[in-house]
Amino acid sequence: MKDAQESAEEGQEGRVPAFLHIKNYLLEQIQAGQWKEGDAIPSEQALAKQFGVSRMTVNRAVRELTDEQILSRIQGSGTYVAQHKYQATLVEIKSIAEEVRARGHRHRSELHLLERSKANEQLALYFNVKPAHPLFHSVIVHFENEIPIQVEDRWVNPDVAPDYMLQDFSAITPNEYLMAAAPLQGVNYSIEALSPPQEIADMLQITSKEPCLVLKRRTLSKGEVASVATMWHPGGRYQFAGSF
């Protein structure tokens, strides 16, 4: 419902309600290229000051553009020009950094975990090894134009990729290293929609109620399983595509 202040503000622009005037302004800036996909727009407080209106009025304009998928809000971060859903090919195994750069965007990654571990019974089955077999484990968040689009949780067989722990994953992705160290012989994968655990949701800057597209992939090299990866993607920002 509108309060008295918002109703008064709607009359300030003549026939055009104040919220619609702001909405049109935001659209014009985006269409003119002043703000590109992934760019942050001014805060609601800044827009309210610029137009001399209440934050409630600005909020309505921003909310409508968000509902129309023109803008995208990230809790605790800000409001951004929405991007087209990112595509990942299922036919050709590519580095996510390569995909991002191919779109003319900026890629960066944050390493959250890099450790030596041992295979539990489930991982032993995945890798076709005995329980307690040594494995490498990494968790990395990938960003496109500063927006998180993937959490990569990967287990690696040191028999196939012994130098995995020595890599600088701010400069090279696990996929890029593995494609060089362990040439691909085969791949198994599955995709499903899942609600993310809170830890994954926090890394993707979404709520735990927002569904994710989850790609589980096992790669083979040198006659052995090279890696088993689970990759979480926010469903509202990502899609998979492929052709045969």
Strand (E) or helix (H) holding 2: none
**Residue 53 and residue 68: Cα distance in Å, rounded?**
23
Amino acid at 199: E
Confidence of residue 231 (pLDDT cuts 50, 70, 90): very high
Rounded to 10°, the helix 18-31/55-67 angle is 50
Res. 48: pLDDT tops 80: yes
Residue 12 clears pLDDT 50, i.e. is over it? no
pLDDT-based confidence at residue 239 (cuts at 50, 70, 90):
low
Q: Can you list the domains of the chain with their CATH numbers?
A: 4-81 (1.10.10.10), 86-241 (3.40.1410.10)
Structural contact between residues 176 and 161, judged by C-beta atoms closer than 8 angstroms? no
Helices 18-31 and 44-51: angle between axes, nearest 10 degrees: 110
Residue 21 has pLDDT above 80, yes or no: yes
Q: Are 95 and 180 in contact (CB under 8 A)?
A: no
Q: 143-194, pLDDT tens digit by residue?
A: 999 999 999 999 999 999 999 999 999 999 999 999 888 888 788 888 889 9
104-138 pLDDT, tens digit per residue, is 899 999 999 999 999 999 999 999 999 999 999 99
29 in Cβ contact with 35 (< 8 Å):
yes
Q: What is the pLDDT of residue 242?
A: 55
Instruction: Output the pTM of the full model.
Output: 0.63
User: 49 is written with which tokens?
Assistant: 């000051």
> Helix or strand or coil: residue 151?
strand
